[in-house]
Amino acid sequence: MSTLQPKHQRLVLGGLAAVLLIVAALVAAWALRSEASYFYLPGQMLSDPPEPGRNVRLGGMVREGSLDTEADGVTVTFLVDDGADATGQAVPVRYAGILPDLFVEGSGVVADGRLAADGTFVAETLLAKHDENYVPRELEEMTAAQARAVVADTETAPAQSANVP
């Protein structure tokens, strides 16, 4: 038999639930802190760099003429700037792996990786951004009429499926 009155038992249970909820929130915050990836522009990374080894994202433009492939054929280095001034500050990036199809000098890129102690951003993944004039290879090989038919099919397909009971 419990010596606590029902009113006090509810108070103890409520207190335990609050403590468990706070502990769960702290564990979730700690886990997200180690997995969160902050996004930096080149100017931000140069003026207020993240601590070396912290996982961050760098987004900007690949500077024209800066792309260099090393002797191993897999590792590339290039500069990422904000695209406004080609003579301005840029972050040196090093990446070892297969480059995305759309990755070219002068295009947008988002690199996920870590800033090394020497100021070089070591990318683990690269995402190439394309401009508004991008056309998929499949559509390039089609005639204009075929491309319009494919686009029309893709635009009407969700409407047809919405009518299905």
Structure tokens, 31: 């886990």
Length of the chain: 165
**Binding site feature residues:** 130, 134
- pLDDT in the model for residue 4: 79
**pLDDT > 50? residue 2:** yes
* Domain boundaries along the sequence of the chain: 38-128
What fold is seen in the domain 38-128? OB fold (Dihydrolipoamide Acetyltransferase, E2P) (2.40.50)
**pLDDT > 90? residue 140:** no
- pLDDT in the model for residue 82: 85
84-136 residue pLDDT tens: 766 678 999 999 999 888 888 888 899 999 999 888 999 999 998 776 666 66
The rounded distance, in Å, linking the Cα atoms of 50 and 40 is 9
What residues pair up with 123 in beta bridges, in sequence order? 95, 113
**Binding site feature residues for heme:** 130, 134
5-56 residue pLDDT tens: 888 999 999 999 999 999 999 998 888 876 777 899 998 898 989 888 888 9
User: pTM (2 decimals)?
Assistant: 0.62
